Amino acid sequence: MTESRPNLPKIVGFWTKPDLPQIVTEKNIFDYMDGAGELYLGYRFRHLESYEYIAQKQQSILVELYFMKTSDDAFGLLSLDWGGEAVKWGSAQIKEVSSSPWPRAFYGEGLLRLWSDNIYARIMAYQETPESKEAVLKLGQSIVTNRRNPPAPEILQKLPDSFLPNWELRRDRASYFRSHLVLNSLYYLGQENMLDLDLTAEAITASYEKRDSPPGKPRIQFLFIKYPNAQRARNALSHFHRVYLSEIPSPVKPDASSKIVNILAVEEGWLGYRLQGNSIAFIFECPDQKTALEIINQI
């Protein structure tokens, strides 16, 4: 299938697009952005096209189109921040509309972020005005028009809406990723890549909060990782034990069965994990052993 490219307008409101974009690749991404390049390289990044729309007596509008290898990678970048007001466009402008509980675009304070098939886009007005907001939203609409609209990554189906007895998913704290650097920005485990994450793996993490409790407390952190094969998953769990649980012997043995379940008391609360096939599910910060056992058995 031929990839449909966005058709950005030459003129939107007071603003005019340059004839050619600035092209950013893996080789020069750190020259383009200071410190944030690792975030995009933590997904399967192809290249970035950057346009600066200019206008007389108006500050510029920056359009950044991040071309990723797959729709899942573009979704992952959006999922790192669910903040802002959700934006929707009419289904007549989008090919292959798919229903999804996950928003596809957010606007706030002059910045629009969106996911459109294999593109993650950032459109930023350096000064928010009614006119710039209208222009930013029109630019966003031009990006999604006539492009495919695939569903969210399949691995998100591993996120239950709730864990028994009364732990509920915070959708605004759910993220899809591949890199340990991205994981550490979401839920810090340690500087070392102790779970052997790379671009061949895919993972999700999310917070669960107890029903009727004050926001943010208490919480349980859920982490699910899918590796290319079962041996990679077993090696990763052994590595995790050596680094994160160095005083506790690893249950991973060469002749062990393909499923391993464990619940442990650690400094931050109760930790549980379940290794099965090529995947590992973790729960962190469980308040007690009973809760940890109920949840790990539900996974």
β-strand partners of 190: none
At 133 the pLDDT is: 96
Mean pLDDT, residues 193-222: 89
Judge whether 132 and 125 are in contact, CB under 8 Å. yes
Q: Has residue 253 got a pLDDT over 90?
A: no
Token readout for 64 is 């950044």
Token readout for 67 is 């071309």
Mean pLDDT, residues 270-277: 95
At 252 the pLDDT is: 85
pLDDT confidence of 94, banded at 50, 70, 90? very low
Q: Has residue 246 got a pLDDT over 80?
A: yes
Which amino acid does the sequence have at 12? V
Burial of 251 (0-12, 13-18, 19+ CB in 10 A): middle
**CA–CA separation, 179 vs 269, rounded Å?**
25
How does pLDDT run across 65-76, given as a tens digit for each residue? 999 999 999 999
pLDDT confidence of 91, banded at 50, 70, 90? low
Q: Has residue 92 got a pLDDT over 60?
A: no
